[in-house]
Structure 1
Amino acid sequence: MRMLVNVTCPIEPFNTMVRNGTAGEIIGRVIDDIKPESIYFTEQDGKRGAVMVVDVPDASDIPSIAEPWFLNFEAICEFRIAMTPDDLMKSNLSKLAEKWNEVQMN
């Protein structure tokens, strides 16, 4: 299942890792291990952050994605299911609307 993962890193310990030269190397290792479809680094709530698109075949895979960020950067990770337009089309919205409109009208 494709998921969006928002990662927010607190100012510390990240500042210390930038100063001692380890932040980039650790981020590289994390990315190599997780192998996201894409990753973008950005600001989130005034802190360093990243947004990743990852394939999560099973819920038991979530810790392997989150723990490197938790353990190395004391980060917050938020997981959201992401659908492509094809995924949305497979959901058969018109049939769902028909089913739930009937409930609402009764």
Structure 2
Amino acid sequence: MRMVLKARIPTEAGNAVLRNGTLLKIMEAAYAALQPEAAYFTLEDGERTCFFYFDMQQSSQMPPVLESFFMDLNAKVALQPVMNADDLRTGLGDMMSGT
């Protein structure tokens, strides 16, 4: 299932991992683990925020992926299913055809 993971990193924790040189390593490890179709990095309410859009095969993927955001970055994490335009067309088409 296509998912979006949003991690919002508090400024103090982000500054610490940026200074000690581990921020890039943490993000690269997350990218390697998730193999996202897209990843975006921005600010939200003044805090570093990242979005990873990826395919989750089973819920057991959650701990190895999410714990680094919690433990290493003290991040607030959200994970939810999402659709792309093709998924929306298929879902609405199925709904309209009664399948």
Identity of aligned residues (%): 30
CA-CA distance at 1:65 after TM superposition: 2.3
| CA RMSD after TM alignment | 1.7
Task: Give a deviation string over 1:63-89, Cα, whole Å, max 9, x none.
Answer: 222112112101111112111222223
Q: Is the 8 A contact 1:8 1:75 kept in 2?
A: yes
> TM-score, normalization: structure 1?
0.77
Q: Which residue number in structure 2 is paired with residue 94 of structure 1?
A: 96
Unpaired stretches in structure 1, ≥5 consecutive residues: 97-106
Aligned runs of 1:1-106 on 2, under 5 Å? 1-91=1-91, 92-95=94-97
Question: How many angstroms apart in 2 are the aligned matches of 1:87 and 1:15?
Answer: 38
Give the count of matched residue pairs: 96
Question: How many angstroms apart in 1 are the aligned matches of 2:59 and 2:21?
Answer: 34
Q: Give the secondary structure class of the aligned counterpart of 1:66.
A: helix
